[in-house]
Structure 1
Amino acid sequence: MLNARWAETMRGSVSFVYTTSKAEVSRLNPPTPPQPDKPGLEVDISDVGPDEARWWAAVLAPGQGWLATMLLDEDTTFVAPWSVQLHSDNRFLLSSKDSLSLGEEVTCPSFSEALRFLETFCVRRNIVDQSQAALAAVLLFPTMGTRRGLQLPEFTTNRLDRPTGVDPVIPQHQGQDLNFESRDSGIYQDDVLDRLITVSCHIKGIEPMLLSGFFDPSLECNAASPWLQGARAAIDAVAEGNPLVIGRMIMDRQPMVAPLWVGATILGLQKDLLRPATYGMALIDLPSAVWSGAIQSFIQQPVSDLLVRDGRVTSADQCRLLFLSQSRLHSRVPICQWRPFGGTPLEHTDMEVQAHANCKGHGLRYDGFIWDRVDGKTTYHLADKENTHTCRNPPPIEHTTGSYHVSVDCGKFDNEKEIASENSTRSIFGWLRFDGYAPDEKEIWTHEWLEPYECDEEDEEQCEESPENTHKSSHVETWISGLEYQESLISAGP
Structure 2
Amino acid sequence: MANADTQDLRPPCLSTILTDDNILQPNPEQLEEATKKCREYWYRLTGAAIRHHRDGVPPEWTDPRHMLWRAPAIRGPLRKFPSGTSKRKTLSAKAFSTWRLNDGGADCEVSEKERKVKAILHLGIQAPPTCTFTGDSFRQWIGTTGEAKDAPNYLGILALGWSYILSARLVEIQGKGAVISYTNSKAIQCDEAESGSVPDVIVDIGNANADVARWWSAILARGGGWKAIIEKNKDGEFLAPWSISIDEKHSFGVKWQGNDPLPDAAPLSSDRAFEVLAEFSLLHNLGSQFLVAFAAALTFPTHKHHKTEVRLPLPTQTGQKSSTATSGSVPSQWAMVKEHLPNYISLSCCPELIMSTLCGMFWEPDVPCNLVSPWLHPILSEVRDAETIAAKPGSYHEILGIICGFRRPQICSLWLGAVISGLTPKILRLVERGKPPLNLLAFPWTGCPQTFMDTPGSGPYVHGDASGDKVERADVWRLLHVLPLEEDDYGYHNRPTTPWAPFGKTKKEYCSLNVYCHLGCQRHHLEYQHWNWKLDDGSVIEDPGLANTSSANAPVPPLPEESLPEIPQKPVDQKASQDASQDIFGWFVNGGEGSPPEALYKDAWIKIRKGDEDNDEMDLDEREIATDSAPKKKKKQRVNQLELDEWLDTLSDG
Structure 2-normalised TM-score? 0.61
Describe the SS at the equivalent of 2:230: strand
Out of 193, 198, 202, the residue aligned to residue 350 of structure 2 is: 202
Q: Displacement, 1:65?
A: 1.2
- Tell me if the contact between 2:452 and 2:501 (Cα under 8 Å) persists in the aligned partners: yes
Measured in 1, the distance between the counterparts of 2:428 and 2:453 equals 23
Q: Displacement, 1:373?
A: 3.2
Higher gyration radius (CA) = 1
Q: Displacement, 1:424?
A: 1.6
The one-letter amino acid paired with 1:445 is Y
Identify which of structures 1 and 2 has the higher relative contact order when contacts are C-alpha pairs closer than 8 Å and 6+ apart. Answer: 2
In the TM superposition, 1:335-354 aligns within 5 A as 335-354=497-516
Task: Give CA-to-partner distance per residue, 1:170-205, whole Å, 9 cap, x none.
Answer: 145xxxxxxx44262134323x21111111110111
Measured in 2, the distance between the counterparts of 1:118 and 1:259 equals 19
Counterpart residue number, 1:422: 578
Counterpart residue number, 2:422: 268
Out of 56, 62, 67, the residue aligned to residue 222 of structure 2 is: 62
Counterpart residue number, 2:571: 413
Q: Displacement, 1:225?
A: 1.7
In the TM superposition, 1:323-472 aligns within 5 A as 323-327=481-485, 328-383=490-545, 398-401=558-561, 403-410=562-569, 412-414=570-572, 417-433=573-589, 434-437=591-594, 439-441=596-598, 443-451=599-607, 471-472=636-637
- Tell me if the contact between 1:303 and 1:363 (Cα under 8 Å) persists in the aligned partners: no
Describe the SS at the equivalent of 1:444: helix
- Tell me if the contact between 1:253 and 1:397 (Cα under 8 Å) persists in the aligned partners: no
Is 1:302 aligned with 2:452? no
Measured in 1, the distance between the counterparts of 2:444 and 2:229 equals 31
Is 1:81 aligned with 2:241? yes
Measured in 2, the distance between the counterparts of 1:314 and 1:204 equals 30
Measured in 2, the distance between the counterparts of 1:221 and 1:450 equals 12
Describe the SS at the equivalent of 2:347: helix
Query: For structure 2, which runs of at least 5 residues remain unmatched after alignment?
Result: 1-164, 610-634, 640-654
Q: Displacement, 1:98?
A: 2.4
Task: Give CA-to-partner distance per residue, 1:180-239, whole Å, 9 cap, x none.
Answer: 44262134323x211111111101111111111211110111111221223324422443
Measured in 2, the distance between the counterparts of 1:92 and 1:360 equals 62
Is 1:316 aligned with 2:480? no
| Distance change (3 Å), C-alpha of 1:188 and 1:301 | closer
- Tell me if the contact between 1:7 and 1:14 (Cα under 8 Å) persists in the aligned partners: yes
Describe the SS at the equivalent of 2:357: helix
Q: Displacement, 1:406?
A: 3.8
Counterpart residue number, 1:227: 375
Counterpart residue number, 1:464: none
Q: Displacement, 1:136?
A: 1.5
Is 1:240 aligned with 2:405? no
Counterpart residue number, 1:465: none
The one-letter amino acid paired with 1:352 is N
The percent identity for this pair of structures is 27
Measured in 1, the distance between the counterparts of 2:461 and 2:242 equals 48
- Which is worse superposed, 147-156 or 49-58? 147-156
| Distance change (3 Å), C-alpha of 1:13 and 1:394 | closer
- Which is worse superposed, 63-72 or 139-148? 139-148
Out of 253, 257, 260, the residue aligned to residue 97 of structure 1 is: 257
Measured in 1, the distance between the counterparts of 2:523 and 2:214 equals 58
The one-letter amino acid paired with 1:19 is T
The one-letter amino acid paired with 1:91 is S
The one-letter amino acid paired with 1:200 is S
Measured in 1, the distance between the counterparts of 2:379 and 2:202 equals 43
Out of 177, 190, 196, the residue aligned to residue 33 of structure 1 is: 196
| Distance change (3 Å), C-alpha of 1:189 and 1:155 | closer
Task: Give CA-to-partner distance per residue, 1:63-90, whole Å, 9 cap, x none.
Answer: 2111110225344320111112222342
Measured in 1, the distance between the counterparts of 2:521 and 2:557 equals 33
Counterpart residue number, 2:337: 188
Describe the SS at the equivalent of 1:365: strand
Aligned pair count?
Answer: 433
Q: Displacement, 1:365?
A: 1.5
- Which is worse superposed, 305-314 or 19-28? 19-28
The one-letter amino acid paired with 1:240 is A
| Distance change (3 Å), C-alpha of 1:407 and 1:90 | closer
Q: Displacement, 1:306?
A: 0.7
Is 1:5 aligned with 2:169? yes
- Tell me if the contact between 1:284 and 1:335 (Cα under 8 Å) persists in the aligned partners: yes
Counterpart residue number, 2:299: 140
Is 1:285 aligned with 2:444? no
The one-letter amino acid paired with 2:408 is Q
